[in-house]
């Protein structure tokens, strides 16, 4: 499924950030972050978007409502990174895989690949 968000309406933005489909995460993610948290955080710490995403990251969780609203003023590549992190966290399969392979530059593509390995428990996040 390809996801394209152009609406500035709140329901168009916030409809993507519901908690009901959220996979189970470790209740103590501050000390033992889940692979999903570590993977999403790894993407959100990309130098391309870190300054814009940092205010929305908390220990063990994210302010997805704020982050997804912030994507309305981001470039397509920046928005794709946030959407990919959100999809790793929520597990909905809404990210355009073709876009990851064709729209991201080499360093951010590799960051997403490493995040996928982190989410599988195969790798540890690199220090930011």
- Show me where the domains of the chain are located: 32-119
Which of 2, 6, 36 has the alpha carbon at shortest distance from 21? Answer: 36
Distance of CA 62 to the CA centre of its chain: 9
Tens-digit pLDDT profile for residues 28-61: 444 557 899 999 999 999 999 999 999 999 888 8
Contacts of 40 (CB under 8 A, 6+ apart): 62, 85, 86, 88, 89, 115
Tens-digit pLDDT profile for residues 6-21: 444 444 444 444 444 4
Copy the structure tokens of residue 72.
């309305």
Q: What is the mean pLDDT of the chain?
A: 80
The model carries a pTM of 0.74
Which of 107, 57, 92 has the alpha carbon at shortest distance from 83? Answer: 92
């Amino acid at each position: 499924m390809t996801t394209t968000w152009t609406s500035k309406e709140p329901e168009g933005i916030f409809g993507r950030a519901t908690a009901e489909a959220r996979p189970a995460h470790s209740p103590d993610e501050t000390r033992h972050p889940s692979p999903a948290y570590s993977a999403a955080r790894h993407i959100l710490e990309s130098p391309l978007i870190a300054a814009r995403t940092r205010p929305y990251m908390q220990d063990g969780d994210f302010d997805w409502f704020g982050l997804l609203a912030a994507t309305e003023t981001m470039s397509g590549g920046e928005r794709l990174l946030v959407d990919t992190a959100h999809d790793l966290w929520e597990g909905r399969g809404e990210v355009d895989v073709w876009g990851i392979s064709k729209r991201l530059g080499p360093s951010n593509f590799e960051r997403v690949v490493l995040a996928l390995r982190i989410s599988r428990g195969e790798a540890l996040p690199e220090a930011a």
